[in-house]
Structures are given as structure tokens and as C-alpha cells.
Amino acid sequence: MTDICGDFRRLVIAALEDLIGEGALPRELPLSRVAVEPSREAAHGELSTNAAMVLAGPLRQNPMALAERIAGALRGRELETGDYRGRGFWVAAVRPGFINIRLAPEAWHAQLRAILAMGTHFGDSDLGGGERANIEFVSANPTGPMHVGHGRGAAFGDALAALLEKAGFAVTREYYINDAGAQVDALARSVHWRYREALGERVGAIPEGLYPGEYLVETGEAMARRDGRKWFGRPEEAWLAPVKDFAIAEMMALIRADLEALGIRHDLFVSERELIDSGAVEESLAALEKGGLIYTGVLEPPKGKPPPEDWEPRPQTLFRAARFGDDLDRPLRKSDGSWTYFAVDIANHREKFRRGFNNLIDVWGADHGGYVKRMQAVVSALSDGKATLDVKLIQLVHLFDKGQPVRMSKRAGTFVTLREVVEEVGKDVFRFIMLTRRNDQTLDFDFAKVTEQSKDNPVFYVQYAHARAASVMRHALEAFPLEALSDEALAGAPLERLTDPSELALLRPLALWPRVVESAAQAHEPHRIAFFLQEVAAEFHTLWTKGKEEATLRFILASDRELTLARLALVRGLALVVASGLAVIGVEPVEEM
């Protein structure tokens, strides 16, 4: 293992078991709450454990006295991992009952050696144990090109997928195509309109309720090229289905290209229409019916401000969502007899579970928040509680340019597509910026700021750290032309020469990378990776600058080959961890800028 906190947690547990073995502590202690964490304050050592604090209660003992005893037991132990064997650490019980741990520098050096040995695989975890996880994300309606909000969901979902992969899950990236219902019918009508236009008919302005976007002009023309006048002047019943098929295929190609521009590829595309046609919806509802979870009833009118004018109490088919924590039972059929979106989505989620996934994650726009409880209710009901669904809601992106809001209106034709943004700023900038806020926080995206080459721009700042590291390595080759500077060779460098506090200040966060991966994966929060990278980059820039002020701290010292090698090892360690983090976010590390 390379997770230093995990290693020390095992040590603490072993010490506690020693005390239990000696009869000094009773069996059946709630050890699960014992944690080892990096200290926030340097004065508190480097790691600390709450062991005495959490056990004092159940044991009805004074936490400080207990901390002393545990600290004593810790002093008598040696870490079992080879990496630390024979290397010192100091423990101290302190004030309310924390136990602080300070490591000999050699322990940190061992972590650097691990980074160099594992490369960008440093930080990989077996947290997931190979278990399968399904992430459904983007799932934009196939009615037009993606917009920036979809892009945020895409960047988030793909990063979360990569994060879970790094944490040891077998991940499937799913796209659920909403290719049934009124919206794709409107799409088909819009394309038919453009098709008539392409065939030379004077159609005038496109009617209300259809999609006015220019992008459909081309689709109409393509339709005309493929089918000629086949659907011209025919009634809608004749052309709706084939035009719809054509239009959806075109739109999905468009969306896939948008995703491709972001470097995102889904493993699985699930079609809403196919779920309906295959009878999967009936099957799913039959399964619920069996559990007595479906009935016919009348719902109260919605309590919203404007009571819907066409509202009438009507018996409908309902799922007992309220039994599973939802606020209301939920309808499955529309008044025309067709399935509600919810009914088909039940089948969608049942299929995920049937494909063998117990870890389900959906990434939705924040405006779908009202839908979360019912979907979780379904997953709980259908899997008998075995599967869990986590829904990540993505807040809006507000576009700015030099501080001025970019006003978007489909009607005025000032709508900015995802593609335009990505072409303007690049996919790396886009993907990184999308993770500089939590998913449930709105995000301001300023074209001027995100492309600015300054420390105020987090993408640049992190990229620059990687490029700067590469630059140091190039210079090192000039200074020591014959040296082998491979990672393998650097792992053999005399790392014990890294003793300066500012060097250790960089080394410590690098060593904590595996822990960041695990906690971010557990919380399903990829933004933590972006924040971590900014911290690490800051630490590196600080160290670099110290070298400017104090020549002895420079990475390359022609007079001291050994120290140079040790410092180059640190520089490479930084570059590898940054590259590893950027890989999760889907950003290419650059060698120079």
C-alpha cells in the first residue's frame, strides 16, 4: 500500500489490539471510527489519530489518559510495511486526547520512491475491489447540439468515471437517449419543415413549437439528398416515423461529435424508444406489481402557484414511491395511455441492475432535483435494497466575457453552443474549469479569464507546474549530460538528502495523493482533484521561487550531483502526481507552454 494514512491506521489498530490482548482494553471496541488523518496544523505533527477521543466515550475513560496509553503502545511497535521498516516516527498524546505522529523524513522519502516506481499509477486504489459501477451522464435530448450546461455534466461525469476507475471500480459510462415522446416528434416536424425548404418550397418562418435552430437546415438538406421528394406533400402519418429516425440519428451524430471534441466516449447508449418497444417497461412494472407497489388512485392537484387550467381529478396508475421515502406516489401513464417519462426510466434503471450493477450514479441538471427521490425509490424497490443510486445534480454555468454576461437567446440567435466554447478555449481548459466548483454550485465561466496566462487562472497554474518541471529536467540534462534521469534511476537517488522544510512541504501533499483519490471517489466528488492539483502546484511554485532567492535551494547544482539527483526525483514526483490528477480530469499535461 502506498497510502500513508492507511498504513498508520493499521498501526494504530494493531496497537489497540495489543492493549486488548494484554487485557488493558475490553474486546468489542468500535474501531471503525478510529481514523488517521493528516494534521491541519504543522504544530500538531504530520498525522494525527482520534483513537482515544472516539474510544473514551464507550470506555468511560478519560481521553487524555487513554491517549497516553495508546501512544505508549504505539511507541513499542514498528510498522509492518517494508517501506517504513526501521524508520522512525514519534508519537505524542496531546491536550484533549489526540495522538500526533511525526514521521522521520525517511518515511516521506519512501513515498517519493513509490511515486517514481509506480508513475501515474501512484494513487491507484483497490477501494472498489473491481466492483462494477454505472454512471449515466450527459443524456441530452437528441434535438440539437449540446450547450454549455450539458458540457459541465459531461466533464463532471467523465471525471467521476475516471476517478472511480482509479479507485478500483469497473466503470460503464452510459448515455440514455431520450428518443421517445413529444420533443423528438417536434424535432421530426422541424426537420420535415427544413426538408421542404431544401426542396425549394417557400415555407416562411418556422412555426411556434418547432426547433428554429439553423443546424437543422443542413439536416433537412441531407434528408432531401437521401430521399428526394419521397416525403413531399404527404400527410404527417406517412413521414413522421422515418423522418424521426433520420433526425435522431443525425442529432446523435452531432452530439457524439460534441462529446468527442471533449475527449469523452460513452460505453453504452441506451435508447428510451427501444426500452418501450422491447416490452421492458411492462416487465418492470410487472415486477413492481408483484410486490404490490402499483395501484390505481387519484392524486391531489399540484399545489403550485398557478393551478393548471386543464386539471381534473382522474384515476391513474401509480407507483408507491412514498413507501420508499418519496413525498408522493408517482404516475406511470399519461392521459393518452402512453408511458410517462418516469415509467420508462424505471425500465432503464432496472436494466442497469439486471446488467449486474449495484453502484448506480446518475448525473442530472439541477432542475431535475424533484425527480431524485422517486428514482431512488424505484432502485430500492427493484433491487430489494441491494443497489444504490446516487444522483449528482449539476448547477448552471453562466457565461461571461471580460466580466460582461453573455446573454443567450435561442430566438435572437445568440445561443452559444458547447462546440463554440470548446473551439474557443480548448477542451483542456473547459474540462478543468468545469471542476473548479462543486457540482451543486453555479459556475461562472469567463472566456477572457479562463484563457488568461496568469496565476489567477487555475488551469494555467497547474499546467505551468507540470511544464516547469519538464523544463527543469531539460536543463538537468544539459548540466549532467551523461546522467541517466529516468524515473527508475531517480528512484535510486540519495533521497535522504531532501531535508529542507520546503522540500518536505511539497513531498507531503504528493504522498497524500492516494488518500485524495479515495476520499474523492467515496464522496463522488471529482472537483476535489482539481483543488488538490492547485495546492500541489502552489507548493511547487513556492519551492521553485525559493531557489531564485537562495541558490542552495535550486534544483540543479552543478557542484553537488547527488543532491541534484535527489531534487530531480522530487521534481519528477511532482510531475507524475500532477499528470495522474490531470488524467482523472481528462486534461493533457503539457511539457512546455
Partner RNA sequence: GUCCCCGUAGCUCAGCCGGAUAGAGCAACAGUUUCCUAAACUGUGGGUCGCAGGUUCGAGUCCUGUCGGGGACGCCA
Candidates 14, 217, 372, 425: give the one binding RNA (CB under 7 A). 372
Please, what is the minimum distance in Å from the beta carbon of residue 371 to RNA?
5
> Exposed/middle/buried for 474, CB within 10 Å: 0-12, 13-18, 19+?
exposed
Phi, psi at 229, each rounded to 5°: -95, 15
Collapsing DSSP states into helix, strand and coil, what is residue 397? strand
Residues in CB range of 328: below 8 A, 6 or more apart: 299, 321, 322
Report the nearest approach of RNA to the CB of residue 418 (Å).
17
Task: Confirm or reject binding of residue 202 to RNA (CB under 7 A).
Answer: no
Select the span of 23-31, 74-82, 233-241, 296-304 touching RNA (CB under 7 A): 296-304
Stretch in the footprint of RNA (CB under 7 A) among 116-124, 195-203, 216-224, 526-534: 526-534
Structure-block grid coordinates of residue 70: 495508546
Candidate residues 17, 18, 37, 483; the one interacting with RNA per rule CB under 7 A: 37
Residues 105-134, mask of contacts with RNA (x by CB under 7 A):
------------------------------
For residue 13, state whether it binds RNA (rule: CB under 7 A).
no
Window 68 to 107, contacts with RNA (CB under 7 A): 94-96, 98, 100
Can you tell me whether residue 64 is helix, strand or coil? helix
Note whether 48 binds RNA by CB under 7 A. yes
CA 63 distance to own-chain centroid? 39
CA distance 547 to 556: 9
Segment interacting with RNA, rule: CB under 7 A, options 153-161, 278-286, 360-368, 376-384? 360-368
Site string for RNA, 378-417 (x = CB under 7 A): ---------------x-x----------------------
Other beta carbons less than 10 A from residue 244's beta carbon: 20
Q: Which is nearer to RNA, 199 or 528 (CB)?
A: 528
Is the distance from CB of 385 to CB of 313 less than 8 angstroms?
Answer: no
Which residue number, 202 or 303, has a Cβ lying nearer to RNA? 303
Binding segment for RNA (CB under 7 A), chosen from 13-21, 107-115, 281-289, 553-561, is: 553-561
573 neighbors 115 (Cβ within 8 angstroms): yes
- Closest approach of RNA to the CB of residue 475, in Å: 3
506 contributes a contact to RNA by CB under 7 A: no
Residue nearer to RNA on the CB measure, 232 or 461: 461
Among 4, 12, 54, 247, binds RNA (CB under 7 A): 54
Rounded to whole angstroms, the Cα distance separating 236 from 189 reads: 8
Q: What is each CA distance from 99 to 13, 43, 70, 80, 440, in whole angstroms?
A: 13, 12, 8, 20, 36
CB of 233 to RNA, least distance (A): 28
Q: Cell 430521399 sits at which residue?
A: 227
Q: Least distance to RNA from the beta carbon of 382, Å? A: 18
**At what angle are helices 527-549 and 561-585 packed, to 10 degrees?**
160
Of 55-63, 238-246, 350-358, 491-499, which part binds RNA (CB under 7 A)?
A: 55-63
Compare residues 196 and 437 and give the one whose CB is closer to RNA: 437
Rounded to whole angstroms, the maximal C-alpha distance in the chain is: 94
| Interaction of residue 541 with RNA, rule CB under 7 A | yes
229 binds RNA (CB under 7 A): no
Using the rule CB under 7 A, give the single segment among 16-24, 117-125, 480-488, 515-523 that binds RNA: 515-523
Q: How far apart are CA 29 and CA 21, in angstroms?
A: 13
- Cβ distance to RNA smaller for residue 167 or 224: 167
Cα separation, 306 vs 250, whole angstroms: 38
Q: Report in angstroms how near the CB of residue 117 gets to RNA at its nearest.
A: 24
Q: By CB under 7 A, is residue 334 in contact with RNA?
A: yes
Q: Which of residues 130, 311, 411, 501 is near RNA by CB under 7 A?
A: 311
DSSP string, 260-308: HHTT---SEEEEHHHHHHTTHHHHHHHHHHHTT-EEEEEPPPP-SSS--
Which region among 23-31, 225-233, 423-431, 535-543 touches RNA (by CB under 7 A)? 535-543
Handedness of CA 313, 316, 319, 323 (dihedral sign): positive
Rounded Cα–Cα distance for residues 570 and 117 (Å): 13
Q: Position of cell 406533400?
A: 233
Instruction: Pick between residue 178 and residue 219 the one whose CB is nearest to RNA.
Output: 178
What is the smallest separation between the CB atom of 62 and RNA, expressed in angstroms? 10
Which cell is 574 given? Answer: 511532482
Q: Binding RNA by CB under 7 A: which of 519, 561, 579, 583?
A: 519
Please state, in angstroms and rounded to a whole number, the distance separating the CA atoms of residues 28 and 30. 7
> Which is closer to RNA, CB of 356 or CB of 369?
369
Q: Which residues lie closer than 8 Å to 148 by C-beta, 6 or more apart?
A: 397, 399, 416, 417, 418, 421, 445
Q: For residues 196 and 374, which CB has a smaller minimum distance to RNA in the complex?
A: 374
State which of positions 245-284 bind RNA (CB under 7 A): 272
Footprint of RNA on 421-480 (CB under 7 A): 437-438, 440-444, 453-456, 460-461, 464, 467-468, 470-472, 475
3 state SS for 483-502: CCCCHHHHHCCCHHHCCCHH
Nearer to RNA, 38 or 72 (CB): 38
Residue 342 interacting with RNA (CB under 7 A):
yes
Q: What's the distance, Cα to Cα, between the start and end of the chain in Å?
A: 35
Q: How far is the CB of 346 from RNA (least distance, A)?
A: 12
* Residue 3 to residue 8: CA distance in whole angstroms: 9
Figure out which of the listed residues 208, 214, 312, 384 binds RNA, where binding follows CB under 7 A.
Answer: 312
